[in-house]
Amino acid sequence: MALITLRRNLCHLSDFRIQGALAALKNQPVNHVHKVVKEHLCPWFCSLQSEPFRVRFHHACCKKFHSENGNALHPVGEPVFSQIHDWDRLEQNLKNVDEQIFYRRLSNFTSSEEVLHFISTLQTLPDTMAAGALQRIYEVEKKDGDQRLPREILENSTFQALCIQFEQKPSNLSNTGLVTALQALTLLYVDPQSSLLLNLVAECHHRLRRGGLEVHSLCVLGECLIKLQGPGCATLELIICQLQGEKLEKFAPEDIVALYRILQACAEKVDQHQTFLNQINNFSLSVVSNLSPKSLSQMLTALVVLDQTQALPLVIKLGKYVVRHVPHFTNEELLKVLEAFIYFGHNDRFFTKALEQHVASLCLTLDPEVVSKVMEYCCRKQILSIPILNAVAETFVCQSEKFSPSQISELIEPFGKLNYLPPNASALFRKLENTLLTHFNYFPPKTLLKLLHSCSLIECHPVNFMSKIFSPYFLQQLQGDESYLDRLSLAQLTQLFLTSILECPFYKGPKLLPKYQVKSFLTPCCSLETPVDFQLYKSVMTGLIDLLGARLYFASKVLTPYRYTVDVEIKLDEEGFVLPFTVDEDVHKRVALCIDGPKRFCLNSKHLLGKEAMKQRHLRLLGYHVVQIPYYEIEMLKSRLELVEYLQRKLFSQNAGIHW
**SS3 of residue 621 by DSSP:** helix
Angle (deg, nearest 10), helices 487-502 and 445-457: 40
- Mean pLDDT to the nearest integer, 393-416: 95
| Model pLDDT for residues 136-183, shown as the tens digit of each residue | 888 887 765 555 677 788 888 888 887 887 888 788 888 988 888 888
- Mean pLDDT to the nearest integer, 312-327: 95
Task: Please answer whether residues 128 and 72 qualify as being in contact, where contact means their C-beta atoms are separated by less than 8 angstroms.
Answer: no
pLDDT at 264 over 80: yes
**Which pLDDT score, from 0 to 100, does residue 52 have?**
41
Task: Please answer whether residues 190 and 196 qualify as being in contact, where contact means their C-beta atoms are separated by less than 8 angstroms.
Answer: yes
Task: Please answer whether residues 553 and 587 qualify as being in contact, where contact means their C-beta atoms are separated by less than 8 angstroms.
Answer: no
**Which pLDDT score, from 0 to 100, does residue 557 have?**
94
**Which pLDDT score, from 0 to 100, does residue 13 have?**
31
Q: Report how far apart, in Å, the C-alpha atoms of 477 and of each of 250, 433, 447, 455 are.
A: 58, 21, 12, 21
In 3D, which of 82, 88, 54, 91 has the Cα closest to residue 70? 54
**Which pLDDT score, from 0 to 100, does residue 484 have?**
85
pLDDT at 29 over 50: no
If one compares 166 and 38, the residue with the highest pLDDT of the two is 166
224-258: b (≥16 Cβ within 10 Å) or e: bbbebeebeeebbeebbeebeeeebeebebbbbbb
Spell out the domains of the chain, with CATH numbers in brackets.
3-173 (no CATH), 534-651 (3.40.960)
CA dihedral 344, 347, 350, 351 (to 10 degrees): 50
Alpha-carbon torsion 559, 560, 565, 571, what sign?
negative
Q: Is the pTM of this model over 0.75?
A: yes
Task: Please answer whether residues 302 and 281 qualify as being in contact, where contact means their C-beta atoms are separated by less than 8 angstroms.
Answer: no
- Percentage with pLDDT > 90 across the chain: 61
If one compares 66 and 264, the residue with the highest pLDDT of the two is 264
**Which pLDDT score, from 0 to 100, does residue 207 have?**
92
- Residue 94's pLDDT band, with cuts at 50, 70 and 90, is very low
User: How far apart are the C-alpha atoms of 71 and 46, rounded to whole Å?
Assistant: 11
- Mean pLDDT to the nearest integer, 290-316: 96
**Which pLDDT score, from 0 to 100, does residue 464 have?**
92
User: How far apart are the C-alpha atoms of 478 and 659, rounded to whole Å?
Assistant: 50
User: How far apart are the C-alpha atoms of 477 and 281, rounded to whole Å?
Assistant: 46
Q: Given its phi and psi angles, is residue 528 left (phi above 0), alpha (psi -120 to 50 degrees) or beta?
A: alpha
**Which pLDDT score, from 0 to 100, does residue 130 have?**
83
**Which pLDDT score, from 0 to 100, does residue 96 have?**
57
Phi, psi of 470 (to 5 degrees): -90, -5
Task: Please answer whether residues 239 and 221 qualify as being in contact, where contact means their C-beta atoms are separated by less than 8 angstroms.
Answer: yes
| Model pLDDT for residues 171-187, shown as the tens digit of each residue | 888 898 888 888 888 88
User: How far apart are the C-alpha atoms of 198 and 195, rounded to whole Å?
Assistant: 5
| Model pLDDT for residues 536-580, shown as the tens digit of each residue | 999 999 999 999 999 999 999 999 999 999 999 999 998 889 999
Mean pLDDT rounded to a whole number for the chain:
83
- Residue 81's pLDDT band, with cuts at 50, 70 and 90, is very low
In 3D, which of 384, 381, 358 has the Cα closest to residue 371? 358
Q: What is the enclosing helix (H) or strand (E) of 628? A: strand 625-630
**Which pLDDT score, from 0 to 100, does residue 119 have?**
83
Length reported for the chain? 660
Q: CB pairs under 8 A, 24+ apart, for 535-541?
A: 536/595, 536/597, 536/631, 536/634, 537/567, 537/595, 539/634, 539/643, 540/568, 540/593, 540/595, 540/629, 540/634, 540/643, 540/647, 541/568
Chain centroid to CA 213: 32
What is the rounded end-to-end Cα distance, in angstroms, of the chain?
95
If one compares 419 and 658, the residue with the highest pLDDT of the two is 419
- Residue 9's pLDDT band, with cuts at 50, 70 and 90, is very low
